Structure 1
Amino acid sequence: MPKYIYDFSEGRKELKNLLGGKGANLGEMTHLGLNIPPGFTITTEACLIYFKDPKNLMAKIEPMVLDHLKKLEEATSKKFGDKNNPLLLSVRSGAPMSMPGMMDTVLNLGLNDESVKGVAGQTENPRFAYDSWRRFIQMFGDVCMGIGDEKFERILDKYKRSISRTAHDTDLEISDLQKVIADYKALYEKEIGSPFPQDPYKQLFVAIEAVFKSWNNKRAITYRKISNIPNFGTAVNIQAMVFGNKGENSATGVAFTRDPSNGDNIKFGEYLTNAQGEDVVAGIRTPKRLEEMSNEFPKIYKQLKNTMDKLEKHYRDMQDIEFTIENGVLFILQTRNGKRTPSAAVKIAVDMVKEGLINKEEAIMSIDPDKISKLLFKSIDENAIVRVLAKGINASPGAVSGIAIFDSDEAEELAHSGEEEIILVRPQTKPEDVHGLYASSGVLTQFGGKTSHAAVVARGMGKPAVVGAQDIEIDEEAKEFRVAETVIKEGEYITIDGTTGRVIEGKVPLVEPEIKGEFLELLEIADEIRTLGVRANADTPTDAIKALEFGAEGIGLTRTEHMFMAQERLPVVQKMIMAQTIEERQDALNKILPMQKGDFLEIFKIMEGKPVTIRLLDPPLHEFLPELSTVLLEYQELKMTNSLSKSLLEITPLDEEIKKKKKVIKLIRSLSEENPMMGLRGCRLGIVWPEINEMQVRAIFQAACELKLQGVNVIPEVMIPLIGMISELQYVKAQLLEIAEETIKDYGVELNYKFGTMIEIPRAALTADEIAMEAEFFSFGTNDLTQMTFGFSRDDAEGKFIPVYLNKGILERNPFEILDQDGVGKLMKIAVKLGRETRPGLKCGVCGEHGGEPSSIKFVASIGLDYVSCSPFRIPVARIAAAQAAILEKEIEKIN
């Protein structure tokens, strides 16, 4: 029979996929000799089997659980279910990848009406016993039986308010707690239809199943989708309870070996005296700072600091540690690599290299490239005059202005419209709010600290967060918050600054970030390691300047059609399209040429000495014309106006206008296509209307030659789009090569240039050996290659059925966001191999959106591409991901 349960003494960090992060690290810390409450772990394998056959799995593991429970009784000298000396348990989830707060935990399991008296007598602390019993009923009812936590909270609030408006649960007397317990049990029976279970064994197995099931609760599924976490399943950790709520000599807290907000090498954390762990992360009470422990628990503080140092050195990464102090004794409950802001991640990685704790490769591998783009956070303009409403805790950096929304469902709904930035405003967030956090651009909470749920999740998502802003009073029913006399209603603008903790009224000016300090150092380390080139997709001089700032080594895609769309140019372009004769069309093209040439002059100058790949006109011509419905409406209005203003014999100035409109309507109809994505566009346009490509190539080479005469080193690469057959490329290239050579000859210069093609049609990939006879470089247009390989129209697919495919598990990832390695990737691999067989050393790159996506970058590096090209703001991401790809390739080589 498979081994489904491991004692903590059997666990090691290498078993993370089997035991989950928590279970593996509890085993590792046991081996390190730290003071860990004993326990055992049910594996992630058991969880996955549970979802296939729950009854059979539970029947198999029950005797194993009971066997390990006996060992736990021996280790603790307590007995599970005993009324005088009961062993109480925590039952906690633990996935292989950190999912803070997304799955469930049950504490104080094993209590009932009898054993609570035993605990009270044994500890001589009845308040602690009844507080623990109260908490267990609430947790079990919520987690295991689905009774909403808010129903229990309403009962608790009623008794707290009877003391005072600001009373905490610690202010409740024993008699109050006994009344709360009675009301809790009555609520349980009303909701479930049976009394609260008194049998500890029944409690245990119900809790185990509840933790298994929590792997597939809504918030866990949402978080996995957001974070691209596979379906590992969760482990279940069953551990002897230690209590932070035994009195003023007990406490519970969370500690980070470095500050997770900014990465400073300062021990950071928060704790609550006389509390349980859930109180800290729930944000119900605002905790104390870790430094205060040096006065309150000086010996424990020193011991905790030593433990933190030991764990960071052992794991070679910043650690997030959960601890409990029970009657003056320190217990470590968990350690994991801590969630951190992107800026903290960069600082920690660079600092640890300087400290000699890790090497450069480890520093690069410790970074999540996707989160790096969040480092380019905006900040509030220092010269702006702002009205600060309140100051909270700066939990996750960056500034954002947005409308205040008080409900997670509403935030998610509004985000789909994409019209406004949203700031989620909550008293405190719960795991159920994860979809609202994801949909929002920032989060503001009234309660909680830097280790509260809102802070941890916002940091993980790289979103600005201000928490524990206690000067604001939130009225959830009225959907507003108040600060003194100021009221902010739902839909009104606020600004939060997660770097300073400020909450500001209204919209404020924000400034763009710069690459400097540790971020620059990290990118320089990445550049030392990577072998894959990184270029930019840049259509304007502004894009080109930004690309250079972010470290681009050239331009991998300039889309010339974007130059046509400028307001002052579009009428000339439309005139060219609507020309009735070749002469008229040539006249319009002669006007467009200097405009295009001017753009190329600027871009070439900015990118001096670096390759610039220019794609010739790609989209169908109808995209440059007005919408047919708009022109038809204008035509009808003209006719109506004309009929009212003339007699039958009159000729009015509008007659000529009406004739022109009719011509436009006829032209739009003639250019409209059933499937424009596969219609008259790309090289096909250059074959049917060759004058357009000819004008563009003249503009490119005139600009390049003029700069060459000025001593500027220009490297133009002309890219012919949508080639499917060698004959197309031969025809277009011959035509354009003649113009290029003629222009170079006229200027009397030497120019290093190339003609290449985009590989975006499956046939081109499959006949790449032929295509390479003419193409001097390949650039994979992965957006269109994905469309044509899947047979998906992106505009229709993403709006209509891809979300359904993702929800039903038919697709694991949106192939337009993350490259499909099995299909599209296979075509790319074939094309590279065939192309280089014909033309050894053929330069190959990728210029679709996948060029800035980390997993896609790692794949294209593995198949031998020379460079990726992405939007300027994705360049830092690509530099890090390319370095990671090089490190992984070396590791694979070592294994082989």
Structure 2
Amino acid sequence: MTQYVFRFGGGVSDGDETVRGNKNLLGGKGANLDGMASIGLPVPPGFTITTEMCTAYYANGQTFPESVRAEVAGGIAHIEQVTGKSFGDPANPLLVSVRSGARVSMPGMMDTVLNLGLNDATVEGLATSSGDARFAWDSYRRFIQMYADVVLELDHGAFEEALEVAKEDQGYYLDTELSADDLKALVAAYKKLVEAEWGKPFPQDVHDQLWGAVGAVFGSWESDRAKVYRRLNNIPGDWGTAVNVQAMVFGNMGETSATGVAFTRDPATGENAYYGEYLINAQGEDVVAGIRTPQYLTKAARERAGAKPLSMEEAMPSVYAELARVFEILENHYRDMQDIEFTVEREKLWMLQTRSGKRTAKAALKIAVDMAEAGLISTDEAVLRVDPMALDQLLHPTLDPNAPRDVLTSGLPASPGAASGKIVFDADTAERFNDMGEAVILVRIETSPEDIHGMHAAKGILTARGGMTSHAAVVARGMGRPCVSGAGSLQIDAAGRVLRIAGRTLTEGDILTLDGSTGEVMAGEVPTLQPELVGDFGTLMVWADAGRRMKVRANAETPLDAQTARDFGAEGIGLCRTEHMFFDASRITAVRQMILAEDEKGRRVALDKLLPEQRKDFTAIFEVMAGLPVTIRLLDPPLHEFLPHQESEFAEVAEAAGVGIEVLKQRAAELHEFNPMLGHRGCRLGVTYPEIYEMQARAIFEAACSLEVAPVPEIMIPLVGTKRELELMKDVVDKAAEEVFAEQGKRIDYLVGTMIELPRAALMADEIAEVGSFFSFGTNDLTQTTLGVSRDDAARFLTHYVDKGIYARDPFVSLDVEGVGQLIEIAATKGKATRPDIKLGICGEHGGDPASIAFCEKVGLDYVSASPYRVPIARLAAAQAALAKK
């Protein structure tokens, strides 16, 4: 029989070595709780219900088999035995927490229930056994509020409103000012709210409470916010979450109790200094939810911020010293920066969680490099530690230090970087504005997990409440979004769409600038500077390049893009799209004249005008890429994309061509296509009008021959589906090359190959390789033609496909390995069988996606090509793929 429950703490640890530390089974939280207990750290006893049960829970119609109920009963008995308390006992009650724990951290995305086991009888017993009636009733009101929200799915705001009314009635500002009698009255108000909204009294049976909470935590795996987070972070939906049930320890038992969140190093900068926050007389949710603005963990951090409330180091020196010892033990044990949750119950330290901490890309680089240089990990491990997509954060701009700033206020520098955008007050509006191409700053009193889609859509996040470890801060750092939190001077009227700050009123749509590195909030847009990727980045890239097999090129068709790519370490150009050059305003008339010409003679007249322009384009790119390979795709898109539409445009072309407007309009009508993506484009243009490709080839060779250090042109014929198409086009290119070489008295090396973007080309790759010297997989179109899905129209339904598990990820973002990948593998194998030295690369958008790059390594491609700003990502991902394979 499958075991679904594993105990930890109190000297007990279930399972063999295949279970211990198994995050896939126990989830990250459960595995690490067991791990901390096993090395002697103070962990409250508990048990983990496995991720396998989560899968079974949904397969069984969201029910639990009796065998699992029996295992859970055994887990509760274990906690009772260790603590000496009894679950549901009115005299000496055991209270438990019920928390989620997926195999990878998903901060704030799933649910938690604390203080479970309280009812009208056990609250009296807790008051007696603890000697603190206020603490007992505070715990009960917290439990009802959390249970009603998470399990009963009642309106959370109604309970918050009741709490605010209770404080206002007494003239209080803080929750901690409420007395035991105040809290007892508030509990009665909460119970009335539950019965009014739920239709039944608040559940008093502690076992019913427990199973309700376990079901709700499993259920939160399928919540909208969890699905969005998984989609944004490429977490498979079939992994499931574990549930951890653990004895409660209490940070809200007066001035000698506290709760906090800490990191063993600074997650924003990577500095080897303790970083965190704590609250006296509070529970953990108060810190991470941003309900109260917490105090600093260390004296140095407090002094640096100019804060007055004492740090934990000063207020609780002995407990802080023990916590610092635990930090050192955990970092050495897990060999990584740890994110820790802890509680102090009457000066006794308890560890509630440890995990590898979310960090900015800058911090990830510094931590990896520092640990490798200290000998804690190897350089290969350092390379594997950094998420390639996180490097995108390093490309974010910083504010120009010399630019004027209209500073309105300051908050906490919760996530570094700078961003400007229009103020919006809710997540849905942020997403809507972003879809319209508007940069936005999401302004909230505090963020909640339901805001995840708006946080992703925003360029930056500003909150009035919350600390450096609040939900907003943690999620923003993980996303690479600048965030300023705890800006207490903000007055936010979300309903009225108004923000009042420093005596000024701003409305939705006004521009704000955030500096997430300093915490400054500024009116208007402040100019930015591009970052320099040096220091730890340079060190890690040296290590990555040493472990990398595949080359990394860039998709570029301007000298600026080419230079940017080289600056980021590109080893050539993998895709130069020549049609982008045709859209230039100075030459579009000649392009239209060429397209609308009635015969070859007319086309050649226009092409003669374009030749020097194309030659100039290629010369500029070749100068940047001297000595490196440059893959140039000859004209690919349907001709209709270049056609004139307005009367003035037709008149301009008519004058240049010396023909009437009506003649041109008739010609334009003849060129109309019903499905141009599968129409007269790519090599089909070259077959029909070879003079177009002849002009482009001549421009390429004339440009290359004019330079002292020539590049290696790789001329790519697009949309080939047959060997004969490539033969015809190669003849055109070779003829142009020989003519230019004879004229210039100089020869250069070059290759002619094709872009594999049709299923037929992949299947016939052995024949096509007889003619082509290289294949470049154009996975954008190969995905479209294989799936029969238009990339431009798919956005409206692909999200639903991902949510329903039809595709694991958007196939236009990450390669469809099973389908499209199979065609690539077939083509690569067949191509090599015919031509063992054939050069194989990928140049679609997938060339910058780490998962797709890992597949390219598996198949044995020679290079990947990505957009210039993704070259660093591709370099690191290619290294990780090679190291993982090795």
Q: 1:216 & 1:808 partners in 2: Cα distance?
A: 11
2:811 maps to 1:811 = no
Letter in 2 for 1:683: C
Q: Give the 3 Å change call, closer, same or farther, for CA 307–626 of structure 1 in structure 2.
A: same
State the shift of 1:655 in Å.
Answer: 13
Match for residue 576 of structure 2 among 531, 543, 558: 558
Q: For residue 318 of structure 2, what is the amino acid of its counterpart?
A: K
The one-letter amino acid paired with 2:160 is E
Does residue 256 of structure 1 match 2:263?
yes
Q: Does 1:207 align with 2:209?
A: no
1:18-167 pair list within 5 angstroms = 18-54=25-61, 57-164=64-171, 167=173
- Change in Cα spacing, 1:800 to 1:429, as seen in structure 2 (3 Å) is closer
Q: Counterpart amino acid of 1:809? A: G
Post-superposition offset of 1:107: 0.7
Secondary structure at the aligned position of 2:792 is classed as helix
- Which segment is superposed worse, 765-774 or 8-17? 8-17
Pairing 1:495-510 to 2, within 5 Å after superposition: 495-510=513-528
Q: Which amino acid aligns with 1:306?
A: R
Take 1:794 and 1:122, find their aligned partners in 2: how far apart are those partners?
Answer: 64
Question: For the structure 1 residues 140 and 801, does the alpha-carbon distance in structure 2 shift closer, same or farther, using more than 3 Å as the test?
Answer: closer
Q: For 1:592, give the aligned amino acid.
A: L
What stretches of structure 1 of length at least 5 have no aligned partner? 639-653, 891-896
Judging changes above 3 Å, is the alpha-carbon distance between structure 1 residues 655 and 6 closer, same or farther for their aligned structure 2 residues?
A: closer
Q: Give CA deviations for 1:266-318 in whole Å, capped at 9, x if unaligned.
A: 11010000000000001111101111112111111111111111111111111
State whether structure 2 residue 200 is matched by structure 1 residue 181: no
Which of the residues 406, 423, 427 maps onto 1:408?
427
How has the CA–CA distance of structure 1 residues 452 and 721 changed in structure 2, closer, same or farther, with 3 Å as cutoff? Answer: same
- Taking the aligned partners of 1:488 and 1:401, their CA distance within structure 2 comes to 15
Measure, in 1, the Cα distance between the counterparts of 2:130 and 2:207: 23
CA separation in 1, counterparts of 2:749 and 2:657? 49
| 1:121-163 CA-partner distances (Å, limit 9, x unpaired) | 2221111111111101111111110112111100001122234
Question: Post-superposition, which runs of at least 4 consecutive aligned residues in structure 1 deviate over 6 A?
Answer: 654-659
Match of 1:223 among 229, 234, 237: 229
In structure 2, the residue matched to 1:270 is: 277
Are residues 1:308 and 2:327 paired? yes
Query: SS of the counterpart of 1:810?
Result: coil
Rounded Cα–Cα distance in structure 2 between residues aligned with 1:656 and 1:409: 50
Is 1:5 the counterpart of 2:24? The answer is no
TM-score by length of 1: 0.94
Per the TM alignment, residue 844 of structure 1 is displaced from its structure 2 partner at its CA by: 0.5
Inter-CA distance 659–723: structure 2 relative to 1 (3 Å threshold): closer
Structure 2 CA distance for aligned equivalents of residues 415 and 726 of structure 1? 45
1:860 to 856, 860, 878: 856
Deviation at 1:476, TM superposition (A): 2.0
Residue 511 (structure 1) aligns with: 529
The CA deviation at 1:408 is 1.5
Write the distance in 2 (CA, Å) between the matches of 1:28 and 1:137. 32
> What SS does the aligned partner of 1:757 have?
strand
Q: 1:45 to 1:799 in 2, by over 3 A?
A: closer
Q: Does 1:298 align with 2:317?
A: yes
Cα displacement (A) at 1:780 = 0.8
What's the offset of the Cα at 1:229?
Answer: 0.9
The DSSP-based 3-state class of the residue aligned with 1:488 is strand
In 2, the alpha carbon distance for the partners of 1:286 and 1:174 equals 23
SS at match of 1:503: strand
Does residue 245 (structure 1) correspond to residue 252 (structure 2)? The answer is: yes
Q: Is the aligned partner of 1:197 residue 2:203?
A: yes
Q: Find the aligned partners of 1:460 and 1:656 in 2 and give their Cα distance.
A: 55
Q: Percent of aligned positions with the same letter in both sequences?
A: 54
- CA drift at 1:471: 1.7
Say whether the 8 Å CA contact 2:779–2:843 is kept in structure 1: yes
CA contact (8 A) 2:693 2:732 kept: no
Match of 2:877 among 876, 881, 886: 881
1:281 corresponds, among 288, 296, 310, to 288
Aligned equivalents of 2:759 and 2:107: distance in 1? 43
**Paired AA for residue 212 in structure 1:** F
Partners of 1:799 and 1:476 in 2: how far apart? Answer: 30
The partner residue of 1:397 within 391, 413, 416 is 416
- Kindly report which structure 2 residues correspond to 1:731-742, keeping only aligned pairs within 5 A, or say none: 731-742=728-739
Structure 1: distance between partners of 2:785 and 2:753: 20
Alignment of 1:408-557 (within 5 A): 408-418=427-437, 420-557=438-575
Tell me which amino acid in the other structure corresponds to 1:159. Answer: A
Seen in structure 2, the aligned counterparts of structure 1 residues 821 and 495 have a Cα distance that, compared at 3 Å, is: same
1:684 corresponds in structure 2 to 684
1:837 is the counterpart of 2:856: no
Instruction: State the distance in 2 between where 1:484 and 1:40 align.
Output: 50
Distance 1:433 1:730 in 2: 56
**Displacement of 1:634:** 9.0
Q: Which deviates further from its counterpart, 133-142 or 66-75?
A: 66-75
2:339 to 317, 320, 323: 320
Matched residue of 2:260: which SS? Answer: strand
Distance in structure 2 (CA, Å) of the matches to 1:237 and 1:766: 51
Counterparts of 1:656 and 1:741 in 2: how far apart (Å)? Answer: 32
Would the aligned equivalents of 2:62 and 2:215 in 1 still touch at CA under 8 Å?
no
- The 3-state SS of whatever aligns with 1:794 is coil
Counterpart in the other structure of 1:744: 741
**Which residue in the other structure is 1:570 paired with?**
588
Q: Would you say how many aligned residue pairs link Structure 1 and Structure 2?
A: 864
- Answer yes or no: is the 8 Å Cα contact 1:159–1:176 preserved in 2: yes
Q: Following the alignment from structure 2 to structure 1, what is the Cα–Cα distance between the partners of residues 655 and 644?
A: 21
Hey, what's the Cα distance between the residues in 1 that align with 2:327 and 2:656? 83
| 8 Å contact from structure 2 (residues 409, 502) kept in 1 | no
Structure-1 separation of matches of 2:48 and 2:231: 26
Offset of 1:727 from its aligned partner? 0.8
Q: Do the aligned residues in 2 keep the contact of 1:13 with 1:25 (CA within 8 Å)?
A: no
Is there any run of 5+ residues in structure 2 with no aligned partner, and where? 299-310
Shift of 1:58: 4.4
Aligned residue number for residue 849 of structure 1: 845
Question: Matched residues in 2 for 1:556 and 1:56: separation?
Answer: 53
Q: C-alpha offsets along residues 640-672 of structure 1, whole Å, 9 cap, x if unaligned?
A: xxxxxxxxxxxxxx9999983322221221111
In 2, Cα distance between equivalents of 1:26 and 1:357:
23
- Shift of the alpha carbon at 1:65? 1.3
Cα deviation for residue 800 of structure 1 reads: 4.2
CA–CA distance in 1 between the matches of 2:720 and 2:447?
A: 52
Q: Residue 790 of structure 2 aligns with which residue?
A: 793
Residue aligned with 1:57, SS: coil
Partner Cα separation in structure 1 for residue 656 and residue 271 of structure 2: 73
**How far apart are 1:804 and its partner, in Å?**
3.5
Q: How does 1:626-645 map to 2 (within 5 A)?
A: 626-627=644-645, 630-631=646-647
Of 719, 722, 735, the match for 2:719 = 722
- In the alignment, what sits opposite 1:333? 352
Q: Which moved more, 1:682-691 or 1:245-254?
A: 682-691
Aligned partners of 1:655, 1:20: CA distance in 2, in Å? 71
Matched residue, 1:350: 369
**Equivalent position amino acid for 2:397 in 1:** K
* Amino acid corresponding to residue 730 of structure 1 in structure 2: E
Partner-residue secondary structure (3-state), 1:801: helix
Mark the CA change 1:552 to 1:822 in structure 2 (over 3 Å): closer, same or farther: same
Checking the alignment, whether the CA contact within 8 Å between 1:10 and 1:27 is kept in structure 2 is no
CA RMSD of aligned residues (A): 1.8
Q: Name the aligned partner's letter for residue 117 of structure 2.
A: G
**TM-score normalised by structure 2 residue count:** 0.95
What is the CA–CA distance in structure 2 between the aligned matches of 1:887 and 1:328, rounded to whole Å?
Answer: 46
Deviation at 1:201, TM superposition (A): 1.5
